[in-house]
Structure 1
Amino acid sequence: MDLTLHGDNRGWFKENWQREKMVALGLPDFGPVQNNISFNDEVGVTRGIHAEPWDKFVSVATGRVFGAWVDLREGPSFGTVYTCEIDPSVAVYVPKGVGNAYQTLEPGTAYTYLVNAHWSPQARYTFLNLADETVSVPWPIPLEQAILSDKDRAHPRMEDVTPFPAAPAEGLAGRRVLVTGANGQLGRELMAQLPAAGYHPTGVDLPEFDISEAAAVDALDWGQYDVVVNAAAWTDVDGAETPRGRRSAWRANATGPANLARAAAVHDLTLVHVSSEYTFDGSAEIHTEDEPPSPLGVYGQSKAGGDAAVQAAPHHYLVRTSWVVGEGRNFVRTMASLARRGAEPRVVADQTGRLTFTTDLAAGIIHLLATGAPYGTYNLSGQGPVVSWYDVARRVYELTGHAPDLVTPVTTEEYYAGQEGVAPRPLVSTLDLGRIEATGFTPGNSMERLEAYVATLEA
């Protein structure tokens, strides 16, 4: 990129980085957060080849350099070399994962670069030896006559380089994914599906990583990730109504997502957050994405608080779901266990909705990322008939070979009569799926999914 120098007898002035002009030229709005300068006394100072996990916009304040860049990202462009001479009238945009190197051609050279992530000693770099024979950079000053650091001399040759994870293809939100709550039902499913979809997931969970601890979130090396999927939550609906549970629910469901939203904004990440139909009071026949929150209890209130924070992140998907079933403790597994023991449970018949299996929930999240769907809020549950918990329980009894009449229908009021500390429940949990289906994703029929799931429990 050529930069205009405005000079007179006093010297010169230039606009080194001007966001509006750079974006108009087709460069990404990469959000620089740090400006670095490397001053070099002598001719022949040679630095690199370093591929950092952030984008750079490099230029020269004074002097002149020979610049060399080697694509160290995985993919067909791996090993591609580009070189040019940089003086104050030239600037180069360098995507993350592309190795950067330069050699000074004049004494007193100041090499400058804007980056869109704060430097961290924990950041992982990809390196290539300056003298690598494969790329064969045509250094103006032979390396045996140049000034190099011992560390740069020791960098690996191309055959020993571990490629930097590929930059996302057009339409993808990113490939390096941090999954919070990785040990939960959804987290485990995401960790299974993401690699198969071409992503590189890293899973974290309590007690090693707590999203409600601002210091821990801030200290994480976010340069290692493109996307964070927040599958962490406090889900003990009744426990949230206790004094201790109230604090825990708000920490996990509101403070934690707020910390992640701040990190996503600062580090230009895509944030995926999983919400709940408990943010509504259940008075509507079907809940759309645009329905304003009206939570009945502490759990729903804390989830609504987290949703509000997430919606402030520039690049976010807020995925609202209901009645989640996956690997772990859940209603279906409980009913199957009761059926095997010959129990005769009382199950509420006036709460209606659709089950959501984590296979569909994880697949839907990956679909949003992979297709580059517009950011915003999406409902995502199973498809098919609207049923009650009583209907689900009867069907589980049938599928396990037990009489469905052993299940007795009751109202929510009857079920909780005489119990204290019970959280209010929305009676209608049905979610409108039109928005996510318009992106090309159709979840499975929840009752068909139920049949397949129970078969795995029986096996």
Structure 2
Amino acid sequence: MRRRGTDTMALDHEKQLAATTTPIPGFLVFDLTVHGDNRGWFKENWQRAKMTALGLPDFGPVQNNISFNDEVGVTRGIHAEPWDKFISVATGRVFGAWVDLREGPSFGTVFTCEIDPGVAVYVPWGVGNAYQTLEPNTAYTYLVNAHWSPEAKYTFLNLADETVAIDWPIALDDAILSDKDRAHPRLDAVTPFPPAMPRVLVTGAHGQLGRALMAQLPDAGFLPVGVDLDKLNIADRASVDAYDWSTVDVIVNAAAWTDVDGAETAQGRPRAWAANATGPANLARVATEHGLTLVHISSEYTFDGTRAPHREDEMPSPLGVYGQSKAGGDAAVAATPRHYLVRTSWVVGEGKNFVRTMVDLAGRGIAPKVVDDQVGRLTFTTDLAAGIIHLLRHGAAWGTYNLSNEGTPLSWAAVAKRVFALSGHDPQDVSPISTAEYFAGKDAAPRPADSTLDLTRIEATGFRPPSMEERLDAYVAQLRRDGSGQQPTVNRPD
């Protein structure tokens, strides 16, 4: 490598862009291509497409900083911050020293090298870094993917620590240091950075799916933050733009307007479009701008129910406003590069749902009429949340995935009969009725006749949902143990 200085003649203009790994996991050294002649030199300091192809994480920088140093021997560090950095030199030369301060087997691992305009390094979150200038008027620049915050926790290591024993080109006694850097602790007094946990923002955190996600994400190695309308109105651009997205890695949008019949009214129509289309479009925009992963929950109501089982590539054919608004949101989400569009059906979880209503009716001795010409599969939120987490943890290919429970599709009437039987009541108390008869004389949205989803793609990733019969049996048994049902507050079986 060129270590003689940074004049044009000293730089290697034949060198090709390349990445090299180091003893510190995730830490990369980049050889940069520098183009020069008698006028000076030019380089692509950071080039996302080329460098990610060589292994640089698509780390989404949000800030660019420059450190200028007048004199030889200026030494800064060793500082470890909760963000990733891409370091390069604009002019001059520095000696860089890095110590892994993350919890784990590589704690205390050291790597050093010189950096000039033809070399750059990628420093992962939690790796301590220090720099010593080797030429006057040296400036180095670094891209970071989080904003500095006075509330953030930083970790420091003494530049003279005997354990890591960095061989400084200029002895520290002769170097220029700040008093703060001289006072940093030795390695045996450093509290390691805990393992990095992807930060997941869950919208609609108090809904059925939101609750299941908030319960499962921590055990899966994710740091969940739940928000609802009072904290983040996804349909309001100003609210979305004001949110600090530098604190988020993944958005799971579990917020939606799900009143299918209400969406057909003059009051409900704009609310459905705001929540189901405008909101996802706002989230897709910030996901693209900040390089975030967006998980969005869709519905089988985007289809008319005539071509089941519905595949992921089926063209939308919604029958009503709810399905139309969901299809609009789906189109916006599909435009952001890092997305999982998870389409589901007949959701059952903690909160108001069809199964709870049937348990309540059975317990009160009410014999309901339930439609028998709409068929599909139930989706229990524990399994829906688990499937979403599976996609995130295993880095599945971006795109659309159908996700419901497995099993033979049933009609709503058949589900109700099974619930009555599981509740210790006569399933014959449930009277099958057609959709037309059920909604006769009522203002109601059209429903897809067949909601069955093809699960081939999600199962190809290694996730196979349990059967809905198995989950339904366990769910009803739990409701009976808890003595919980719910008053029937809706006039629709979905």
**TM-score of the superposed pair, with normalisation by structure 2:** 0.84
Q: Distance in 2 between matches of 1:227 and 1:301?
A: 26
CA distance in 2, matches of 1:39, 1:291: 56
Provide structure 1 residue ranges, at least 5 long, that are not aligned to the other structure. Answer: 168-174
Distance 1:272 1:122 in 2: 30
Q: Confirm or deny: 8 A CA contact 2:155 2:190 kept in the other structure.
A: no
Is the deviation greater in 304-313 or in 79-88? 79-88
Q: Does 2:66 match 1:37?
A: yes
Seen in structure 2, the aligned counterparts of structure 1 residues 21 and 347 have a Cα distance that, compared at 3 Å, is closer
SS at match of 1:302: helix
| Residue pair 1:315, 1:375 contacting (<8 A) in 2 also | yes
CA distance in 2, matches of 1:255, 1:155: 50
1:434, 1:196 → 2: CA distance?
Answer: 27
Task: Please tell me the residue identity of whatever aligns with 1:431.
Answer: L
Q: Is the 8 A contact 1:70 1:99 kept in 2?
A: yes
Per the TM alignment, residue 448 of structure 1 is displaced from its structure 2 partner at its CA by 1.6
The answer as to whether partners of 2:310 and 2:453 remain within 8 angstroms in 1 is: yes
SS at match of 1:179: strand
State the 1:82 CA deviation. Answer: 1.5
1:356 CA displacement: 0.5
Question: What letter is aligned with 2:327?
Answer: A
- CA spacing shift, 1:26–1:449, aligned 2, 3 Å: closer
Partner of 2:492: none
Q: Is the 8 A contact 1:347 1:389 kept in 2?
A: yes
Deviation at 1:219, TM superposition (A): 3.2
Partner Cα distance (1:191, 1:282) in 2: 32
Partner of residue 448 from structure 1, selected from 446, 461, 470: 470
- Can you give the 5+ residue segments of structure 2 that lack an aligned partner in the other structure? 1-29, 482-494
Give the equivalent residue in structure 1 for 2:285: 262
Q: Distance in 2 between matches of 1:95 and 1:437?
A: 33
Cα offset, 1:352, TM superposition = 0.8
Distance 1:154 1:183 in 2: 47
**C-alpha distance in structure 2 between counterparts of 1:155 and 1:298, whole Å:** 62
Match of 1:3 in 2: 32
Matching of residues 304-453 of structure 1 within 5 Å = 304-420=327-443, 422-453=444-475
Relative to 1, partners in 2 of residues 1:242 and 1:152: Cα closer, same or farther, differing over 3 Å? farther
Kindly report the root-mean-square deviation, in angstroms, between the aligned alpha carbons of the 2 structures: 2.5
What secondary structure sits across from 1:272 in the alignment?
A: strand
After the TM superposition, which of the residue ranges 95-104 and 81-90 deviates more from structure 2? 95-104
- Report the counterpart of residue 157 of structure 2 in structure 1: 129
Asked which structure has the greater CA Rg, the reply is 2
- Taking the aligned partners of 2:166 and 2:143, their CA distance within structure 1 comes to 24
Partner of 1:275: 298
Letter of the structure 2 residue corresponding to residue 38 of structure 1:
S
Q: Secondary structure at the match of 2:267?
A: helix
The 1:15–1:374 alpha-carbon spacing in structure 2 relative to 1, beyond 3 Å, is closer
Report the equivalent of 2:488.
Answer: none
**3-state DSSP of counterpart to 2:56:** coil
Asked if residue 83 in structure 1 is aligned to residue 112 in structure 2, the reply is yes
Distance 2:434 2:379 in 1: 23
Q: Of the candidates 67, 80, 93, which is equivalent to residue 96 of structure 2?
A: 67
Q: Distance in 2 between matches of 1:334 and 1:347?
A: 12
Shifted more, 378-387 versus 31-40: the winner is 31-40
- Call closer, same or farther: CA 1:444–1:128 in 2, change over 3 Å: same
What is the deviation of 1:243? 2.6
CA distance in 1, matches of 2:179, 2:436: 75
Report the residue type matching 2:147 in the other structure.
W
Deviation at 1:292, TM superposition (A): 0.7
Contact 1:311 1:376 in 2 (8 A): yes
Is 1:213 the counterpart of 2:236 in the alignment?
yes
Alignment of 1:245-260 (within 5 A): 245-260=268-283
C-alpha separation in 2, matches of 1:208 and 1:152: 39
Distance 1:393 1:208, change over 3 A: same
Q: Partners in 2 of 1:297 and 1:229 — Cα distance?
A: 25
1:170 — aligned with what? none
Counterpart CA distance in 2 for 1:324 and 1:30 is 35
Q: 1:68 Cα shift?
A: 1.9
Q: Report what 2:259 is aligned to.
A: 236
In 1, the alpha carbon distance for the partners of 2:461 and 2:284 equals 24
Give the stretch that moved more between structures: 82-91 or 184-193: 82-91
* Alpha-carbon distance in structure 1 between the residues aligned to 2:261 and 2:314: 24
Deviations 1:318-354 (A, max 9, x none): 1100000011111101110111110111111111101
- Percent of paired sites with the same residue: 72
Distance 1:197 1:59, change over 3 A: same
Whether contact under 8 Å (1:54, 1:223) holds in the other structure is no
Q: Distance in 1 between matches of 2:65 and 2:313?
A: 44
CA distance in 1, matches of 2:420, 2:379: 19
* Separation (CA, whole Å) in 2 of partners of 1:350 and 1:369: 36
- Counterpart contact for 2:95–2:112, Cα < 8 Å: yes
Is the aligned partner of 1:108 residue 2:137? yes
